[in-house]
């Protein structure tokens, strides 16, 4: 394989961490393996953990898609589409509206930070694009054939809507040569 998921994920995390203007005050920017739902916050065994993390930005790798048409005729080269789901969560002790608007600001910042950017690599595979932050990928023959883009469809949605706690998710995809 010509890519490592963790290299791309690390650059997404570093890009969010580097944006101190739009993401100041975040308690956690990290990877997350799983789904976030209102149940996570309603279940007493989870609630304290998640509530203590707010505000957060969590990155969850959602897997890859490859179709039969996304390969060469010999089957030696495949194109994979990797999807990353990013959760942003906020809380407000004053009003629900403040938590919602904090999430709106984080979603807009995510778009600005990620959409249309490519992983930093050596050599740079798509030099005309702005790169993500972080350590350059040196995996042999790493080739991104598209920048990160919103996945389309339901790429941004509200997943937790509780009094004073709000979590949205946003999906971004990238196409790579496998």
Inter-residue contact 40 to 159 (CB < 8 Å): no
Pick from 49, 46, 54, 35: which is nearest to 164 by CA? 54
Helix H or strand E segment including 32: none
Pick from 71, 65, 90, 72: which is nearest to 152 by CA? 65
Question: 69 φ, ψ to 5°?
Answer: -75, -10
Q: What is the pTM of this model?
A: 0.90
The pLDDT score that the predictor gives to residue 48 is 57
pLDDT at 168 over 90: yes
As a whole number, mean pLDDT of residues 11-37 equals 90
As a whole number, mean pLDDT of residues 55-78 equals 83
- Residues near 8 by beta carbon (within 8 Å), at least 6 away in sequence: 82, 84, 119, 132, 137, 174
Q: Where are the domains of the chain?
A: 5-177
State the Cα–Cα distance between residues 51 and 9, nearest whole angstrom: 24
As a whole number, mean pLDDT of residues 94-108 equals 87
Q: Per-residue b/e over 63-97, b at no fewer than 16 CB within 10 Å?
A: ebeeeeeeeeeeeeebbbbbbbbbbbbbbbeeeee
């Amino acid at each position: 394989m010509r890519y490592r998921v963790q290299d791309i994920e690390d650059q997404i995390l570093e890009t969010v961490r580097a944006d101190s203007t739009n993401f100041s005050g975040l308690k956690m920017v990290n990877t997350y393996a799983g789904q976030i739902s209102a149940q996570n916050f309603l279940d007493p065994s989870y609630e304290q953990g998640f509530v203590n993390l707010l505000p957060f930005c969590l990155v969850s790798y959602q897997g890859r898609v490859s179709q039969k048409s996304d390969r060469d005729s010999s089957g030696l080269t495949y194109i994979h589409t990797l999807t990353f789901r990013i959760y942003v969560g906020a809380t407000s002790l004053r009003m629900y509206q403040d938590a919602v608007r904090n999430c709106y600001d984080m979603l807009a910042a995510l778009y600005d930070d990620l959409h249309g950017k490519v992983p930093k690599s050596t050599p740079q595979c798509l030099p005309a694009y702005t790169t993500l932050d972080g350590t350059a990928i040196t995996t042999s023959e790493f080739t991104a054939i598209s920048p990160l883009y919103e996945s389309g469809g339901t790429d941004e949605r509200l997943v937790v809507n509780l009094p004073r706690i709000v979590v949205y998710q946003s999906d971004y995809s990238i196409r790579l040569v496998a």
